[in-house]
Chains A and B, each alone.
Chain A
Amino acid sequence: MSSAFVYVLAASAVFGVGVYGLIVADHLMRKLLSLNVMGSAVFVLILTVGGATPAGPDPVAQALILTGIVIAVAATAFALALIVRMFQETGLTSLRGRDDDD
């Protein structure tokens, strides 16, 4: 059993968990956390299956992931700005309406 094998399985499990969170989470910030969890799983997957060079993991894959990490935090910051504004306007923190019971 190799390290790559372990990380591929872990990333797949974490991605599945993220999908579950995205479906069941009520609070928008928890949905955002789930999205970030899914993103991290994808990054681990890209690096692991990207293959190895004599000087470590593929540098192009690493640069791609580095870019992805920064884009993820930028998107998260914008999403948080939207969530805070939505709460200020409506008093809600989820997409469920105020009177929805199910």
Chain B
Amino acid sequence: MTIGVLVDLMLALALVGLSLRVVTGRALFRDIVLFILFGLVIALSWSRLGAPDLALAEAAIGAGLTGALMLMAYRRLVAGGAEDVAPRRRPPLLAVPVAVLTGALVALIGLAALGVERVPDAAGTIVLEELGASGLGNAVTAVLLVFRGLDTMLEMAVLLVALLGAWAVLGEVHPGRLHQVDRRTPLVGALLTTVAPVTLLIAVHLLLAGTDAPGGAFQAGAVLTGCGVLLVLTGTVRPRAAAGLATKLLVIAGLAAFVMIGASAVALGRAPMSLPGTWAVYLIETAMMLSIAVTMTLLFARARALEPERA
């Protein structure tokens, strides 16, 4: 047994232990924090499995964004008088057998799939062979934008639908009730003036690097959302009653860029969704990054639109 497998074993044990704590704990706040930790251990597992793109996405989206959304919702429930600690109840009799059998079934399928020999012309192999033709150096970005652009376009549609759904159940918004941090205190000011620009820089770097190295629109959008979350939490921006034209354009930008470039290919006599060049990849990814960041920030703030708070 090599050191590598030992590390994998430790990560695997951490995953199982943390997931057990997350689902069986009694104090919700602590378990959300443990869930964020669980996401970070998953991110470590991705890098152990040789998938740095996924590690970045998991750390930023799976652990970071999901955690922030959960903690914000938790705060809203507690502010409304919900209880944190659940009363101890006797779990259903069949819960343990059902869970054990499900896990065993998944293990059976997984181990059987591990034993299957990889076909020589698997989709991933073809992607790597044709990577040069795509003009991109990162195979994952090439799949997302060039080879399977339709899937990514529809994914942006799902994100939009999630936002529209959240808006539909939003109810009445209370402007100015969101933040509790006084941003005139020196610490918050210093945090904003250093962290916000650095976040922006990292996001743009991830976007540009994503064509050849680990990174891409999703990771960049998630990091940019971090900036938005910071602005919301420090009260630099506040909810507005209705979404203006700018907000609407920003949330559909990713989908619109995809549709326009993908459909214009048909008008020019090429295959649908084929991109005219690397510039189109950058254009779509920039639009996607902005859409993801604005959509997720609005979901986090539970707002239809945000505007700068005048001091």
Contact = CB atoms under 8 A, between A and B. Distances in A.
B213 interface: no
B166 A18 contact: no
Interface in B153-183: 155, 158-159, 161-162, 165-166, 169-171
A22 B94 CA distance: 13
Contacts of B24: 20-21, 24
Interface string B113-132: 11010100011110110000
A36 B66 contact: yes
A41 B102 CA distance: 12
Nearest to A5: B114
Interface in B95-127: 95-96, 98-100, 102-104, 106-107, 110-111, 113-114, 116, 118, 122-125, 127
Interface residues of A, number: 80
Contacts of B4: 3
B245 to A, nearest CB: 23
Given A3-B4, A16-B103, A58-B124, A69 B62 contact: yes
Contact of B69 (A49, A66, A76): A76
Contacts of A43: 42, 54
A84 B28 contact: no
A95 interface: no
Interface size range of chain B in the complex? 35 or more
Interface string A36-54: 1100110111011111111
Contacts, number: 278
Contact of A81 (B38, B45, B51, B302): B302
A97 B57 CA distance: 38
B124 A60 contact: yes
A73 B53 contact: no
Contact of B49 (A3, A33, A87): A3
Given A48-B49, A48-B114, A76-B69, A81 B170 contact: yes
Contact of B159 (A24, A62, A74): A74
A4 to B, nearest CB: 6
Contacts of A23: 91-92, 94-95, 98-99
A19 to B, nearest CB: 5
B103 A47 contact: no
A80 B299 CA distance: 9
Contacts of A77: 69, 162, 166, 296, 299-300
B151 to A, nearest CB: 6
Given A9-B107, A48-B114, A57 B66 contact: no
Contacts of B16: 10, 13-14, 17
Contact of A44 (B45, B118, B123, B169): B45
Interface string A49-91: 1111111111111110111011111111110111111011001
A12 B110 contact: yes
B264 interface: no
Nearest to A86: B169
B141 to A, nearest CB: 8
B311 interface: no
Contacts of A69: 54, 57-58, 61-62, 218
B296 A73 contact: yes
Given A6-B9, A8-B114, A33 B302 contact: no
CB-based closest 10 A-B pairs: A16-B103, A21-B23, A58-B124, A10-B12, A20-B99, A12-B107, A59-B139, A63-B143, A49-B113, A74-B162
